[in-house]
Chain A
Amino acid sequence: MAAIQNTIFTPGTAARFDKLATIYPLKRSALVPMLLYAQDEVGYVSDAVVAEIAQRLDLLELDVRSVLSYYSMLRTQPAGKYNVQVCTNISCMLRGGFELLDHCKHTLGIGHKETTPDGLFSLEEVECIGACCWAPAAQVNYDFHDDLTPAKMDAVLDSYRARETK
């Protein structure tokens, strides 16, 4: 691997990526996790992220973009600081997933894959997140929120707003 000059990542993430590139029988295996962890830090998979990951894994940028476009959690545009993902798949739909999504749309004033003007929240309708028995469920970034109602959802959103004013 070529040494990475002027990495765009924080020292912790850069060190983690150095290690990730060595643990697999094939270096390229680190690609999907690396893209996701990079997105966690940068907010989205930017051109600079693609370029550096390609360099780290000895891939063409084209290879990286081909994989990037396949996975639905990876995005090439910034999202809100808190990405609200409401599941409307069958188990959630039966217990009010669509009502919850609608409620979020009205409360936040944004639609699917849109971001509030202050950049705090974005909203996404997502497919099954594996919380079917605790439906309806949503994820805010990686946090699960189960057994929701519109009122509980308001409290969830408030709890993220409160983090900002602290």
Chain B
Amino acid sequence: MPTLVSHPDEVKVLSRRFGLGATNIDRYIELDGYKATRQAIEQGPDWIINTMKASGLRGRGGAGFPTGMKWSFVPKVSEKPKYVLINGDESEPGTCKDHLIFLNDPHAIIEGAMIAGLAIGAKTGFIYLRGEYRYLLNIMEKAVADAYAKGFLGKNIFGHDGVDFDIITQTGAGAYEVGEESALMESLEGKRGVPRIRPPFPAVVGLYGGPTVINNAETIANVSHILLMGGEAYAKLGTERNGGTRLFGISGHVERPGVYELPMGYSLRKAIYEVAGGIRGGKQLKAVVPGGSSCPVLRADEIDVGLDFDQMAKAGTMLGSGGIVVLDETVSIVEFALRTIRFYQHESCGWCIPCREGTDWIKKTLTRFHAGGGTKKDIDNVQYIAENMMGRTFCPLGDAAAMPTLGFIKKFRPEFEEYLAGKRVDHPLIHIQPFGETELAGAH
């Protein structure tokens, strides 16, 4: 069972029910549960959307798009049914925050989905969890069944005539790419998880061709709290244009890894050295991958930056999914870069050529380089391939593979050169064992 951690600097909004038994619906109601939904039914869609806009909440999946604005893009009138889709396909390496939400507060996800439905005029919500999260799907399904039993879901919810909302839970079966919004819709329609071209955007043509709001599980779990505390109060917890708090998962070489809820804009240095207890075993910090594996790496001298979308962008990286991966001095960046690209090569759905071929050639080159057969030209080649993947694919997976690769080479080029010269920074224990090539070829 994942352990819950705590630090005095935390501001617990979303995580305030963690560890308090809120999977039980009666306990959840005691802890202010389902108040926000009742309020939302009474106040109506414009009030909901205005509150969400005022909160400054931005998408927690990684892209950081303002949630209130996303909801406002859905046409008021639509011939086709509208849908709410909750993305719980959490698969970005370094990210395990939604895991804790499903485990500790499943009703907050249901409430968020209902409120989103009320805001856009949808009567059906889907909650999609990655296939590996079966025990969390069971928790989620029980929560949905309990909500139906209380009359909170179904027809005439909370006794309001004509207010209907249904929730269907869904499992994936192992595919990183399905975490991308359009691929997720394909998967939910029973197809291979390949991305769709946009426009049209999901707000206009989404699931089953109907207007669809798709939100990350963490984003949606914030919604009921925001309605209860007010949009402005939530916004004030964070920084300008970056409202509220966020679940940061700090992993890797720290003393106290864990998921911490910190205000947006909190110092990355403090997050590592104070909240997570500093580098394990008194070692030196070497680098940080600040928001899941697709974010460009920061060197140890670049961590005096605030954890919000804009400050991270200014620092040349991304806040991403909030998964902060900490590397100490013993890590070989060549190895780390290879392990990272090996993941993206495995997960590329193969739909777009720059991604399919690019990830494969970078993996092949770095595998040979790592094994001692590298040349100086390889370093330039890898950079060249990655640069040519950027912005040339249907979905962001191509960028997600290229950006960290470029980061490793730009920030740590001397280490790649020293590696070539035989001054290898080998970690004696870590060794890359490639997946069998034949099996890879058949994987996707």
Contacts and interface: CB of A to CB of B under 8 A. Distances in A.
Interface of B: 1-3, 81, 90-96, 98-99, 124, 130-135, 168, 170-176, 187-193, 208, 249-253, 257-259, 289, 293, 323, 325-327, 331, 336, 339-340, 343, 346-347, 349, 429-433, 435-436, 439, 442-444
Contact of A94 (B1, B253, B436): B253
Contacts, number: 173
Interface string A56-100: 010000000011011111100000000000001111011110110
A98 B93 contact: no
B135 A25 contact: no
Contacts of B251: 91, 94-95, 132-133, 135
A32 B221 CA distance: 25
Contacts of A127: 91, 93, 176, 343, 346-347
A33 interface: yes
Contacts of B258: 133
Nearest to B250: A133
Given A69-B442, A135-B251, A26 B339 contact: no
B359 to A, nearest CB: 13
Contacts of B339: 88-90, 93
Given A72-B444, A112-B435, A131-B96, 20 more contacts: A28-B191, A30-B190, A33-B173, A36-B173, A57-B190, A70-B193, A72-B443, A90-B339, A91-B94, A91-B325, A93-B336, A94-B331, A95-B252, A99-B429, A125-B433, A130-B95, A132-B93, A132-B96, A134-B3, A142-B134
A38 B176 CA distance: 22
Quick one: which of A28, A89, A139 has the most chain B CB within 10 A? A89
Contacts of B135: 142-144
Contact of A128 (B2, B91, B124, B444): B91
A119 B442 CA distance: 24
A59 to B, nearest CB: 8
What are the 6 tightest A-B residue pairs by CB atom distance, in nearest-first order? A73-B174, A28-B190, A31-B190, A71-B173, A72-B174, A142-B134
Interface of A: 23-26, 28-33, 35-36, 57, 66-67, 69-74, 88-91, 93-96, 98-99, 101, 112-113, 125, 127-135, 139, 142-144, 146-147
Contact of A133 (B92, B249, B442): B249
Quick one: which of B93, B208, B347 has the most chain A CB within 10 A? B93
Contacts of A99: 429
B290 to A, nearest CB: 13
Contact of A70 (B2, B91, B175, B323): B175
Contacts of A29: 170, 188-190
Contact of A89 (B93, B170, B192, B430): B93
A24 B91 contact: no
A26 B191 CA distance: 12
Contacts of A25: 81, 124, 208
Nearest to A142: B134
Contacts of B349: 70
Nearest to A145: B1
A117 to B, nearest CB: 20
